[in-house]
Every structure is written in C-alpha cells, then in structure tokens.
Amino acid sequence: MNGFLLLALVGYLVASVAIHLHVFTGSERARAAVPAITIGAAALHAVGIVLQAVQERLCPFVAAGPTIGFAGWLLALGQIALARRRQWTAAGAILLPLAFVALFYAGVTPRPDAPATAIVRDPRFSLHVLPAILGFCFLALAFGAAVLYLAEQGLLKRKRAALLFARMPPLAPLGSAAHRLAVVGFTLLTLALGSGVLWALSWPEWHRWYVEPKTLTTLIAWLVYAVYLAYNHLAGWRGRRSCYLLIAGFTMVLVAYFGVRHFWSRLPGF
Amino acid sequence: VALVLIGSSHKTAPVTLREKLVVTGKEVFDTLRTLRETARARECALLVTCNRTEIYAVTDDGEWQERLVASLARRVGLTPGQLREHLYTFEGLPVARHLFRVASGLDSLVLGEAQILGQVKEALQLARGAETAGPLLNGLFQHALAAGKRARAETEIGRGAVSVSLAAVQLARQIFGELTHRVAMVLGAGKMSAQTVRFLLDEGVSPRVLVCNRTPGRAAALAEEFGGEAVPWERFPEALARADIVISSTSAPHPVVTPDHVRAALRHRRGRPLFLIDIAVPRDVDPAVGDLDDVYLFNIDDLQQVVDRTLSERRREAQRVEAIVAEEVARFEGWLRTRAVAPTIAALQQRAEQVVAEEIARVGGKLAHLDPRDREVVQTLARAIARKLIHPPIARLRAAAAHDGFQEIEAVRRAFDLDTPAGRDGADTDAEAAG
C-alpha cells in the first residue's frame, strides 16, 4: 500500500467517525467536515490507484485486493454525490465505513507474485470484471440504503428520537433509491454473469467453472435479487420486507466474492 | 459614550403590560425619534416582537434611564416605580450579549424559534429608515445577525418541531420526503386537524384534501374550506387506499379505523407508506394498526413526545449557542476597539496627504517645465511613498486595537505629531462605548 492509499484510508476513517458523530450527537461541524474529508480521501485514493498500477504495471482489476479497493473508491464517489443534499449526508454512516473496509482489505490482501495468469490477460476478462465491480458497488449502495431504511423505519415505529430524524434521509425516497440502485446493480450483475458464462465456455475445462462454489453463490445472489425485483414489480413490495431481501442479496454477493475466495475456492485467482 | 438597553419581555412582564408597550406600523418612526430625544441619544433602535419591546441607544447622558422609564411609564399608565419592576437594563458589552442571545433564539418563549432573526433585521431597517441608527448600532445589529445566523447554521437550536401540528408535518416530511402530490385525508373535524392540514398544504400536499365526516354537511363545508373533496363516511375505508396522510379526530367513543380497514387499503397501496395521525381522545385508530408493515401511527401523546424531545434537544443545543454568542461578543468587542483606533488611522492618512499636497505645491514652480503627464507621475510617486511610509504604523495600530495597546496608539500619535492643531482628527471616539 503506497502513501497515498494509506492517507486515503485514514481519510475514510476520519470521515466515518465524523459522520457518526453528526448522526448521533447532531454536531454540525462534524457534518460540515465530511464532504471535504471524503473528497480529499477519494482524490488521494485515485492517485494511489494510478500510481500502484503504473508501478506494478498491472491493471487494478486483475487481483482481488485492488479490485475491492477500487470498489471502495466508487463508494466514496457515491457518498460525495449524495452529500450534496444535507439530509443524505447520513448515508455516509454506511458508505464511508464500507469504503474504509474495502481499502483496508485491499491493503492487507497479499498481492499475487506472478502479474497475471493467462486468464486475466484475456481482453474478455475486462468485459466480465467491469460490470461485476460496478454491479458490486451499486448493490453495496442499495444495501446501505436498505440498512438505513430499516433503521429509520424502526425508529419511526418505536416513535424514538426527534432530531435524529432530521439528520437522516426521508424514508420513502430512501426506499425508492434502494430500489433504483438494486435495478442498476442487478443489470450489471446479470451482464457480469452472462459475459462470464460466455467467456468460460471457450475454455477447455469449462465444466469445472460451473461447479465452482463462487459461480454457484453468485447465481444464488442473482436469484435473490431476481426474486426481489419480481416481487417489487408484481406484488408492489417496497417497504421492510424488500429491504430484507436486498440485505440478503448483498450478503450472498459478499459470500461469493470473499467467503468463497478464502474458504472454498479450488481455482486460484478466481 | 455608552451603549445602553432598556426593555421588557415575557420573562419580566405580563401580557397586559407587554401589549401596551408594542409599537407598530407608522408609529415606529415617530417613536424612534421621540425616544432618541428623550434619552438624549445619538443613536436609537427599537426591537418589537409579540413577546418583547427593547430600546437600544447610544447616549452619553447620565440620566437616560430615568428619562426613558418616565416616558414609558406615561405611555403605559403606571408610575415609574411600578414599571421599573418589569424592565431590565444593560450597559456596555452586556447589551451586545443580550441582543446576540435574543437573535439566536436563546431568550425566546419557544427556545430557538426562527422568527426573531427576521425581527432583529427589521429593527435595524426601521432605525435606518428613521435615521436613528448610526455606526455603532449598525455594527451591533450586524454582529447580532451574524451571531443568529451562526447559531442556526452551526447548531440544531432551530431544528425539529415545537408544536403538535408541526411535529405531524415534520414526521410526514420524514416519511415521504417531498410532500408534493401526497394526498391528505381528514377524518372527523377539529381545530387541530384543520391547522395540521393547513400546514401540510403549505408544504405542498395535493390540494385535493379528502374530508370525511359523519355529518355530510360538515364534510362539505370543510372540503370547501380547503378546496378539497368530501367523502361519504361509509366510504372512508376505500379512501384509505388513496390517502397518504390521514388525520383523525372524530368524537367516536371507540376506534373507527381498524386493522382490517388498513390491511384492505394496504393491498392497493403497493408498499407506499401510510401515515396515520390520531389526535382524538379516545383514540380513533386501533393501536394494532401501528404494527402493520409500512404503516406509521402516531397518537396525540406520541406527537407531544416528539415535541418534548425536540425541546429537550434544543435545550442541550443551547449550550453550544451560548459558546457562539460568547465568541461573537468577543468579536464585537474587537470591532469596537478597531473603531477606537479608526480616528487615529484617519488622522495619520490625512496628515500624509497633507504633507504630499504641501510639498507638491512648494515645488510646483520647479516642475513647470514638465508636461502634464510627467507631473502626474511625480504626484503619484509622492503619494505612493507617503502611503508606504504610513502603512506599517497603521498595521501596528490595528494590531494594538485587538489587545488594548493604548500605549502604542499614543506612541504613534506622538511620533506623527497628530495631536497638534494641524494633525488633530477632531472626530469623537466610541472608545469607551464598550463599557
């Protein structure tokens, strides 16, 4: 991890603390500081990613660590876009810690010795990975919105907190945002899966990829989102139950990406 | 010269007295001028709200207080002694502290209310209009406005709802975000529900308010008042599917909105939240309705709790506002001190210009051979040298003002010989205005 990335990591941590300070104590100074810190950290992060790619002569998406780090950067960008509206700054309470964890993960994951296997050198790899990583980010954003929705919904149901409300995004728009983000995320995930399948078919040992736990878990995640969207369109599910599905879907995405990588994967670098 | 304040507010005077002290409309200009004469003041401003009347003045008259109290006592028909019990007075910096607290909403009947900032601004504009506001009151009120704005921007003193109706509106905004195109429905009728609907209409809810009452005539009358639509009583369960915000205040002895009604409505709502405000006692909405998904039910006690919690959170915020007020008072004090050195700086600049003018006049004959453009260059050069020379002492003076450096001010005055007739500034100072 180079100096820029390290500073960005510290920036995300400080911004996460600041936004929580605002949400729970109402400190306006803390809120006012969040956009500037996030922009600074995201800028450092961008420089860090480019520098690392140049130094190692490696596209950031070929290894797991930098890919997740990049996703963290996209989440920080999402937060910057959201924080332009006062009440939506609170979304950072979920997004900024996620960005921090992503970059931290990128830093502690051992980097591959060999620059890349033949697979990742294939240009079709980018067609698979780009939608996958963007999809991951959109689904993470949808997850964040769903968590906030449930938290706020719980507060409203229990009739708790008066001013805490004023620091959170309004409920119905939060639900719609979660839905729209999930639609985009699902489309990208479908693209990633489709391009992945087509690409794998050209491999001699293609059948090995189908029984790979990662493929299966991703498929389950895709199914969860498909059920979510079907219910949304057909039965008009919008509220609490649909948020649980979004959380379940993203949990499956995390299992597909991290769990399988560390615990079950039989194919290295997949 | 002293900055003074005399006033009365909800904290010191009963409403019967406060209403006599209210000055409105065209009366204000005359009152301001009369007050200025009475207090023998150079400047005078009047801050009038429903809960306070305060006179701000800059005067060097030692008996301003007696004069003003006597004049006010005549106005309200009391003896000065009786009136004095209901008045408070301040002199010097405490005047600034008081006004800054007022502007921040700390001294308001409803802690942190927002109207007061506009009223402080209006007081300044009126005094300017009556030409009774001079540099000192202008500065004081500008600093007060800055303090008030900071309090609102940097703390949560003005956030949240402080009445049951406003709490309902705030909750609606929190549930739906923008209220445009949301449909409100009134069950029954009552003052509070009418007020809540008016607030909601102000927030932009659809003007087609649904009104439902057991007496069709009353429903029609109320619907007409809001420009809405009367719904027959027996059809309110169907209307529940259309309405987003329902305000219920019937006089029914038992719940009229049951979980079955709401469950049926939810089937048509496709997950859109439903916000039920039950302000009736006994309650109109079965409490079990609140357990349904996507339904938010608040009764009168719940709303009152929101108000209470907001007020207690505002009380906590008040400590932060006090800190801002203290900072702004210190800033105002600094401004006063800078003003105190202003005459010295002006004298120094005047002296420099005078020297340049004299010297140019002296050598005028010798420059006659130059063309006008070259003569202009020489004059500009002379002025530039003079300005450069007096720049460091002016910077020292400004710095000295910030830390009571009266000796330094004296040193500059002596060094540049500013107190001899040629260099006298003659302007009076507000140096002692601070206290």
Contacts of A61 (CB under 8 A, 6+ apart): A67, A70, A125, A126, A129, A130, A133
The whole-angstrom distance between residue A216's C-alpha and the CA centroid of its chain comes to 20
Half-sphere exposure of B411 (CA within 13 A, CB side): 9
Diameter of chain B measured on Cα atoms:
107
- Interface size between A and B, measured as CB pairs under 8 A: 82
Q: Do B156 and A29 touch (CB under 8 A)?
A: no
The identity of residue A178, as a single letter, is A
pTM of the entire structure? 0.70
pLDDT at B434: 44
Mutate which: A163, A228, A238, A240, vs B, most B CBs within 10 A: A163
**Tokens encoding B292:** 């349904």
In a structure prediction context, what are the per-residue pLDDT tens digits for chain A, which is 270 residues long? 788 999 999 999 999 999 999 888 878 888 889 999 999 999 999 999 888 888 876 666 666 777 888 889 988 998 898 888 777 888 888 889 999 998 998 888 776 555 555 555 566 677 777 888 889 889 988 998 899 899 888 888 888 755 566 678 889 888 888 999 999 999 999 998 888 777 777 766 666 666 677 778 888 999 999 999 998 888 766 788 889 999 999 999 888 877 666 555 444 444
Residue of A nearest to B308 (CA): A162
CB of B239 closer than 8 Å to CB of B210: yes
d(CA A74, CA A94): 14
Mutate which: B111, B163, B174, vs A, most A CBs within 10 A: B174
d(CA B56, CA B60): 13
* Backbone φ, ψ for residue B373 (5° rounding): -65, -40
Kindly report the nearest CA distance between residue A74 and chain B, in angstroms.
Answer: 26
d(CA B418, CA A22): 55
CB of B3 closer than 8 Å to CB of B96: yes
Dihedral sign from CA coordinates of B336, B338, B341, B343: negative
State whether residue B149 sits within 8 Å of chain A by CB.
Answer: no
Strand partners, B185: B210, B246
Order of strands across the sheet with B52-59? B41-48, B52-59, B2-9, B88-91
The answer to whether residue B200 scores a pLDDT higher than 60 is: yes
Higher local confidence (pLDDT), B391 or B309: B391
Least confident of A191-200, B182-191, B252-261: A191-200
The identity of residue B32, as a single letter, is L
Please give the positions of B annotated as active site: 50
pLDDT digits (tens, 9 = 90+) for B48-102: 988 899 999 999 888 899 989 998 898 888 899 989 999 999 999 999 999 999 9
Strand partners, B52: B9
User: Mean pLDDT of all residues in chain B?
Assistant: 87
pLDDT at A260: 62
pLDDT at A209: 60
Q: Which residues in B lie closer than 8 A to residue A237 (C-beta atoms)?
A: 271
Distances in Å between the alpha carbon of B75 and those of B17, B66, B70, B80, B261? 11, 14, 9, 11, 62
pLDDT at B321: 95
A28 closest CB neighbour out of B154, B160, B298: B154
This model of the complex carries an ipTM of 0.79
